[in-house]
DNA sequence: TTCGAGATCGGCT
DNA sequence: GCCGATCTCGAAG
């Protein structure tokens, strides 16, 4: 398996390659499948998105916004086209893109993708991963792209931003599948996980398993 | 290949 | 204190 060379020098992304903000200013369940095939760029690493999940704001029990506006979820309640990065399980970062009108607090979790540029850099960050595993899973995707707290709130539609979403090869609509969301306790019957069928970088589905606790002595 | 369990800490009740 | 939009490793089939 080979990787295509980067389309140009890092940072040379033309502004008209960026997805426009109005792309994100739509209902989250429309934006999520449309994101498949587009490319998230941070530094010299680029990832073509192959798997995403939609979260519908305060009405969605699976969403961080379910409990309302908090300092953590502030970005979700802001304007569309911004990155919401959160820290979970004490060790992992995950990245979402805010969708819909300001205040709706809906977002798309970026779950997996294929590295299309900067594979060497990504491999340095994840030396134990095979090529297909480099961005297979939301936390791995963040590691491969070096996304952390500093990237929270960045505007991915602005050419000035270090974190950008650029137009890629849109996924073949006949290959887009949807199903229940991964690792989510509430609202697990909502088929808001979207992926490109047959793509090896799509993470395996795992039903939610509550963590076992140490029994009291 | 699949399954089970541990790791680790911020956010919220 | 409890829980979580996860990942990794080791063991077993």
Q: Domain segments of chain A: what residues?
A: 19-196
Q: How far is Cα A133 from Cα A115, in angstroms, rounded to an integer?
A: 10
The answer to whether A145 touches A33, Cβ cutoff 8 Å, is no
Per-residue pLDDT of chain A (217 residues; tens, 9 = 90+): 444 444 444 444 556 699 999 999 999 999 999 999 999 999 999 999 999 999 998 888 889 998 889 989 999 999 999 999 999 988 899 999 999 999 999 999 999 999 999 999 999 888 888 888 899 999 999 999 999 999 999 999 999 999 999 999 899 999 999 887 765 554 556 788 899 988 889 876 555 555 554 444 3
- The predicted structure's pLDDT at residue A89: 87
- DSSP label at residue A158: -
- The predicted structure's pLDDT at residue A208: 53
Q: How far is Cα A64 from Cα A70, in angstroms, rounded to an integer?
A: 9
Beta strands at A83-88 and A92-99: parallel, antiparallel or unpaired: antiparallel
- The predicted structure's pLDDT at residue A160: 94
For residue A119, what are its two tokens? 């594979």
- The predicted structure's pLDDT at residue A5: 44
* Residues contacting residue A33 through CB under 8 Å, at least 6 positions apart: A52, A171, A176, A178, A194
Q: Which nucleotides of C are covered by protein (CB under 7 A)?
A: 3-9
Nearest nucleotide to A65 (CA to C1') is C5
The answer to whether A170 touches A36, Cβ cutoff 8 Å, is yes
- The predicted structure's pLDDT at residue A181: 78
Between CA A91 and C1' B8 the distance (Å) reads 6
Could you tell me the CA-to-CA distances from A39 to A7, A23, A135, A153 in Å, in that order?
12, 14, 12, 18
Nearest by Cα to A46 from A78, A95, A4, A99: A4
Q: Which nucleotides of B are covered by protein (CB under 7 A)?
A: 2, 4-13
Query: Which of the four CATH numbers 3.10.300.10, 3.40.640.10, 1.10.3720.10, 3.30.70.3270 does domain A19-196 have?
Result: 3.10.300.10
């Amino acid at each position: 398996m080979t990787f295509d060379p980067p389309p140009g020098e890092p940072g040379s992304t033309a502004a008209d390659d960026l997805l426009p903000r109005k792309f994100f200013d739509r209902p989250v369940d429309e934006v999520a499948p449309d994101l498949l095939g587009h490319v998230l760029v941070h530094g010299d690493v680029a990832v073509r998105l192959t798997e995403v999940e939609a979260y519908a704001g305060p009405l969605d029990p699976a969403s961080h916004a379910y409990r309302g506006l908090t300092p953590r979820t502030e970005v979700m309640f802001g304007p569309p086209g911004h990155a919401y990065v959160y820290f979970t399980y004490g060790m992992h970062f995950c990245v979402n893109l805010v969708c819909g009108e300001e205040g709706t607090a809906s977002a798309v979790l970026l779950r997996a993708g294929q590295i299309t540029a900067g594979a060497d850099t990504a491999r340095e960050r994840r030396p134990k991963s095979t090529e297909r595993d480099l961005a297979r899973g939301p936390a791995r995707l963040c590691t491969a792209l070096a996304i952390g707290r500093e990237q929270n709130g960045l505007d991915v539609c602005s050419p000035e931003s270090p974190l950008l979403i650029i137009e890629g090869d849109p996924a073949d609509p006949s290959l887009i599948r949807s199903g229940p969301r991964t690792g989510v306790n509430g609202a697990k019957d909502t088929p808001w996980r979207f992926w490109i069928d047959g793509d090896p970088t799509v993470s395996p589905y795992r039903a939610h398993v509550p963590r076992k606790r140490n029994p009291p002595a």
